[in-house]
Chains A and B, each alone.
Chain A
């Protein structure tokens, strides 16, 4: 067994290799722009060179002279499209800024023209020959720019419902024996999935097929249909493989309906493969944030007061925010809590979800402040977390469904060698290298969403699972196949999985780390329907549910099946009794507490996520603890992170192999966020300046010498039938603070602004 396939512990599935492994290593896996098209025309985007103002005129003569140019689409001749509503306002879109509608420019890199040509090369050349005359206005780039406006998130963003508070913060903080009052900042970041933001659109009569990397095929289908003004059933989105998402492909972007509209007019398939730099402005991003955290504690380390104020940048058009105070106000026991989130509007495109949207910036602030408090208390930072660990969140007193935070700290500390740390800053070194050890808590809400599934079982055991889920690298194919195989008692290699197609039963958005819990719960339920039909055929006089449990293992978690002496169903007999060759069942599953309109919403491409802190009588999170060793060269100030160790507990682990890989990638994402990644904005022009892989720093193999992932066994019977907590966004949360805490330990310098680069070190 390789390190990639950890031995399963209790309540973990088998670490089988990925279902799609062979396709991915042979080049057979087909991503959006790999899909064959019949005689496509090629599109190339022209994007705005100013962030605010208007277009005076285009000079297209030179561009039109390029051999092979078919059409150049601007606001003057663009297809007429309906407005799109923001996803958080009941719509599908990641932005309501719709390009090609008028001469107005709302942000840098806005689509202002689309060149259509016979070849990619001709389209690209012509796009570069499009001349634009602008009237530029002075844009507001970000925080501190003149002309921005700021207002509380509550009341303007429908998804931000409350600023959590409890007790009397002001009094408690005033009277606290030990205090921390500190400000933190996080930068703009871009997802930069490896697959570009491509779109291919092909019409067959009045039916549209879209090949596009999407984390929500049902959302994209319905959103594009709405913009085109056609029946949603006339649109099909196909993407069996997605080359990374990280949140960037959960809501619709303006490009898709534009390309679909042009393809309809041209009566020819169109293929758009935007450039890497265009991806920085035609999709969403993680906005920069600012935080003020106030912690008050007694001398023995008990928190008595906690206040978290966050500010986030959004566009003029849309009140997007992530509002991570819902998590940071509930993580530790504290009787007096206050919080406020506000939104700063600037001349930018609308930001959106990026891997752990609320937790990355907000836990960076809180977990840095906790470390500062530990220093002031002269206390081990792990012990400070232990003293303030809680079984109930402090705002509403609701119990955590399960919480293995301290078990994670203890396991990770042991593996890391935390006991060897000498507590004083600057007390550890190796030649020219200052050594620092740091740690932080990590967590992510456990979320679920309604999902449908169809399962077909043949008498020879061959099984087909259909669900419009998404393979964005998480292992969706693999765990759905495992779930069906376990539930039906058929060999894994007999299960075929079909996902990534909006013609399949609707699955949820691959966002908020809800997919595993939701889709596996749906597949389990539908497999049980199949089993019930077979069972009924075998034993027509038995009562179904209870008997079924005893006899064929229905309703039992797979890990307990063997213990209860479960035996597989005799398929041949059951099919003979039924008198058919195939049993097929369709079902719709929704989580406990899902709203009344859940299934209607599911079919129209609106996710209805429930879970985390928003449940009525409980709160559900996955937890982990992350430890980092940093080494800082005392002369050059070069910063390295040779060791990242994380321990995580997330309910049932469906497949330790895919889980470990995701958590490992998450730890590296976290390191990257702390030390490398930032989109730089020119404050004068509100334009991104490092919009490519050479200047937007992403880790390469040499940046990542040692990563260790520890999976803890955890069982949680209060979340969903699969017993799973999403973990795709769990590991990249705590790392930011852990690294800054380690840098403090190495240097004695507290850095409160990300990313930390060598020029920020002052030893």
Chain B
């Protein structure tokens, strides 16, 4: 056994990263004053809780969070909205996709603080009074999932894909749905589902 000790330590300094992030334009202008007040303290210790108000599926949610909490972890661990899934935590798989405003966003790469004041829509916010959203129904009709783990992200992404005007052709749908990995590989059925739901979504 050769004898050359090596060591392992933290890859990067989250404190300095967060100090930068919290002070940057990532925090929207509408952010509440507490965020700004917390900024100095957070630079000292990011684990100190910060008050955040998130608008999720039309409801205001007041939370006290570690400043580094992502939208995904805020939804899952603090609001018990577990429909959005963690598949990589790196923005590589799309399982955590939610809408912020009209934009599809990987919620694992979005800090909760940065989403304050904006409308967040999750998979739980689509169906109304037991009526499924057309995209949800289309996923059922076309068997556009198997294990179902990527499905909430696929559906949120698919709705945005249609609204962006990227559902005109099969090739377009395939291209603009390629940010969402489905390991079961339901891809052809996902394309069929997006095609089915697109006209109804565009209508209103």
User: Which A residues are closer than 8 A to B by beta carbons?
Assistant: 2-5, 17-18, 20-31, 33-34, 36, 49-50, 53-54, 56, 62, 66-68, 119-122, 125, 128-138, 192-196, 241-246, 273, 275-276, 471-475, 657-658, 660-662, 664-665, 668-669, 672, 692-694, 698-707
Contacts and interface: CB of A to CB of B under 8 A. Distances in A.
Given A194-B147, A661-B189, A701 B174 contact: yes
Contacts of B189: 4, 661, 664
Interface string B112-145: 0000000000111011000010001101111111
Nearest to B15: A125
Nearest to A26: B127
A661 B182 CA distance: 12
Given A128-B11, A194-B183, A701 B177 contact: yes
A26 B126 contact: yes
Nearest to A243: B149
A33 B147 CA distance: 15
Nearest to B77: A120
Nearest to B49: A119
Nearest to B81: A27
A473 B149 CA distance: 9
Given A27-B123, A121-B66, A473 B147 contact: yes
Nearest to B89: A275
B151 A242 contact: no
A31 B85 contact: yes
B86 interface: yes
Contact of B174 (A34, A246, A704): A704
Nearest to A644: B188
B16 interface: no
29 contacts: A4-B141, A17-B141, A24-B145, A25-B123, A26-B123, A27-B83, A27-B84, A27-B123, A27-B152, A29-B148, A31-B149, A34-B76, A119-B69, A121-B46, A128-B9, A128-B10, A131-B7, A133-B7, A134-B7, A137-B1, A194-B87, A194-B147, A241-B148, A244-B184, A276-B87, A657-B143, A694-B90, A700-B177, A701-B173
B203 interface: no
A68 B123 CA distance: 31
Given A193-B183, A242-B147, 16 more contacts: A2-B142, A25-B123, A26-B124, A28-B83, A34-B76, A49-B6, A125-B46, A128-B11, A192-B183, A195-B87, A195-B149, A665-B185, A700-B177, A700-B178, A704-B187, A706-B188
A137 B84 CA distance: 43
Contacts of A275: 89
Task: Name the residue among A5, A24, A119, A134 with the largest chain B CB count within 10 angstroms.
Answer: A24
B150 interface: yes
Given A20-B148, A26-B127, A246 B183 contact: yes
A49 B86 contact: no
Contacts of A242: 147
A472 B90 contact: no
Nearest to A708: B188
B83 A67 contact: no
Interface of B: 1-11, 14, 45-48, 66, 68-69, 73, 76-77, 80-90, 92-93, 95, 122-124, 126-127, 132, 136-137, 139-152, 155, 170-171, 173-175, 177-192, 196
Contacts of B4: 135-136
A693 B179 CA distance: 11
A2 B6 contact: no
A273 to B, nearest CB: 6
Contacts of A193: 147, 149, 183
A67 B178 contact: no
Given A29-B148, A68-B47, A136-B2, A665 B184 contact: yes
A257 to B, nearest CB: 23
A245 to B, nearest CB: 8
Given A194-B85, A664-B189, A701-B177, A138 B2 contact: yes
B183 A4 contact: no
A668 B191 CA distance: 15
Contacts, number: 248
A624 to B, nearest CB: 17
A26 B147 contact: no
Given A17-B141, A192-B183, A665-B146, A693 B88 contact: yes
**9 tightest A-B contacts by CB?**
A27-B83, A243-B149, A473-B147, A473-B146, A24-B148, A668-B185, A34-B82, A128-B10, A693-B92
A655 B150 CA distance: 23
Nearest to B190: A701
B42 to A, nearest CB: 12
A18 B7 CA distance: 51
A701 B178 contact: yes
B160 to A, nearest CB: 14
A692 B146 contact: no
A305 B104 CA distance: 58
A129 B10 contact: yes
B87 A5 contact: no
Contact of A67 (B5, B6, B47, B143): B47
Contacts of B45: 67
Given A4-B141, A135-B5, A25 B192 contact: no
B136 A122 contact: no
Contact of B82 (A27, A54, A699): A27
Given A67-B48, A119-B66, A658 B87 contact: no
Contact of B6 (A26, A136, A244, A705): A136
B94 to A, nearest CB: 9
Contact of B181 (A196, A662, A700): A700
B124 A3 contact: no
A50 B5 CA distance: 10
A294 to B, nearest CB: 35
A36 B148 contact: no
Contacts of A53: 1
B86 A33 contact: yes
B136 A195 contact: no
Given A17-B143, A194-B181, A669-B185, A692 B149 contact: no
Given A122-B47, A194-B147, A49 B188 contact: no
Nearest to A66: B47
A472 B148 CA distance: 9
Nearest to A728: B146
B183 to A, nearest CB: 5
Nearest to B9: A131
Contacts of A471: 147
B175 A702 contact: yes
Nearest to A706: B188
B184 to A, nearest CB: 5
A26 B132 contact: yes
B10 A5 contact: no
Contact of A121 (B2, B69, B132, B191): B69
Contacts of B81: 27
A29 B148 CA distance: 8
Nearest to B3: A135
A3 B189 CA distance: 8
Contacts of A5: 143
A27 B72 CA distance: 14
Nearest to A5: B143
Nearest to B1: A137
Nearest to A194: B149
Contact of B185 (A30, A119, A699): A699
B2 to A, nearest CB: 6
